[in-house]
Amino acid sequence: MSDPRTQSEPGHGTIPPAIAAEIFEQSLAIAPPLGLRDVGARLLAPLVHATGAVRASIMLVNPQTGRLRIVAGMGIRSEWIGRDAAFRPKSISEWVFRHREGLVLNGEVSTDALAGSSETPIESAMSLPLEGEHGILGVVNLARLGAELQFSAQEMAALQSLLPPIAAALERALRTQRAEDVAAQLYQASGLASRTLLPVGLLESRQYAFAMARRASALEGGDFCDRAVHTNGSHSLIAADIAGDGVPAMMTASFLQGLFVASASPERSAAGAVARMNAELHQRGGGAQQASLWMAQLSPTGQLSSCNAGYPEPIWVPSDGSEIVRLGSGGPPVGLMNNGRWDEESVRLLPGDMVVAVSDAVISARHSSGRAFGEERLADLISDHRRHPLDTMAEAILTAVAAWSGRPVPADDLSVLAVRYTPGS
């Protein structure tokens, strides 16, 4: 029979109950940040207790409407909390907010210029501005009943000295809420890169087949691929790798994607399209925004014009099994300089020929040993899958990169764009 004492000692296959209880308690203690409503309620309670107010509220500017919103209250209708206050020309709160000046009203809380909103008689009211590090946040309102409990100027001054840490706490809560809102927008926008004429998966046209595969990083870099179809049966293609991540990268991606869609033309050369995107991006970003991209023009007869602006060299895979060819002609990434030079090269695709372009994160993905996935491993993988369906090959590349890096979520956006010339299909 086992010694019961070993059941509470580490290293015998069980977790001691005391340690399990400690882990549980610590897990409960490490809670997510309080919501704005809870923060407001916690900060308002000691003010009410200290002043003996029977009615109180904290109002902050709603960034979506610009109006004052009640985030915490006592002695007011519960349905008002969390809602914008109705605009009133004689609002005491609005006056204090606009003038950034505290106000005490004793007796009937109403003048020719000001009027309270209470549904019950109030004999003394005080309203104070809440000033944060970056400006005014809102106001705090307190009200009392009884002539003997009127607020004084000295009490207002004393209360004002207590407000800076309260305003700082509210400002932190506002920043947290805005950060969560931005994060939610990023998650919602994570699929925007697929809202193109190159959706994820396989797409077949009369002359070409296209395949796109992508894995977004946790930070969402905004990389994208897109296609423009022209009336003469030609196609313009772009694969872009945006420098940076998050909102700035997504804004740059949106700008470049819109510029590509608006300016794509069968008459414009690939190098000319790249030069125009560089000029526009540099003019508006002042050199602070940068993107690597591959631009291509595909004719109905299989003529491919390629310009590579700092993007990993796309791989041309002949259908006859001969050696692969890298398409490296081009120039620097776009956005860095006002004037630049970009070259292009033209190749003639034969039926079944394939071109594959991948983002830099595919090639630079690191193994636990520190070795990169690399161009040679990529080329071997593409050669092994040259007879496979395009979408199968594109997904195989991403699967191989994930296995190589051991990361279920990549450190940077991964994308694969593959094109096969299929005349008459």
Query: 3-class secondary structure for the chain?
Result: CCCHHHHHCCCCCCCCHHHHHHHHHHHHHCCCCCCHHHHHHHHHHHHHHHHCCCEEEEEEECCCCCCEEEEEEECCCHHHCCCECCCCCCEHHHHHHHHCCCEEEECCCECCCCECCCCCCCCEEEEEEEEECCEEEEEEEEEECCHHHCCCHHHHHHHHCCHHHHHHHHHHHHHHHHHHHHHHHHHHHHHHHHCCCCCCEEEECCCEEEEEEEECCCCCCCCEEEEEECCCCCEEEEEEEECCCHHHHHHHHHHHHHHHHHHCCCCCCHHHHHHHHHHHHHHHHCCCCCEEEEEEEECCCCEEEEEEEECCCCEEECCCCCCCEECCCEECCECCCCCCCCCCEEEECCCCCEEEEECHHHHHCECCCCCECCHHHHHHHHHHCCCCCHHHHHHHHHHHHHHHHCCCCCCCCEEEEEEEECCCC
The pLDDT of residue 122 is 65
Instruction: Please write the tens of the pLDDT for every residue from 171-216.
Output: 999 988 888 887 777 666 655 555 688 889 999 998 999 999 998 8
The pLDDT of residue 48 is 92
Tell me, yes or no, if the two domains 36-186 and 195-421 fold the same way.
no
The pLDDT of residue 5 is 43
Task: State how beta strands 330-331 and 303-309 pair.
Answer: parallel
Residues of the chain with pLDDT under 50: 1-8, 10
Residue among 409, 182, 14, 49 nearest 3 (CA):
14
Sign, Cα dihedral of 275, 235, 193, 416: negative
What's this model's pTM, rounded to 2 decimal places? 0.71
Q: Locate the domains of the chain by residue range.
A: 36-186, 195-421
The pLDDT of residue 1 is 46
The pLDDT of residue 294 is 98
The pLDDT of residue 114 is 60
Residue entry with tokens 């819109």: 258
Distance, CA of 104 to chain centre? 44
Tell me, which fold does domain 195-421 have in CATH? Phosphatase 2c; domain 1 (3.60.40)
The pLDDT of residue 364 is 95
The pLDDT of residue 12 is 55
pLDDT, averaged across the chain? 87
The pLDDT of residue 187 is 66
Q: Which CATH number fits domain 36-186: 3.40.630.30, 3.40.190.10, 3.30.450.40, 1.20.1090.10?
A: 3.30.450.40
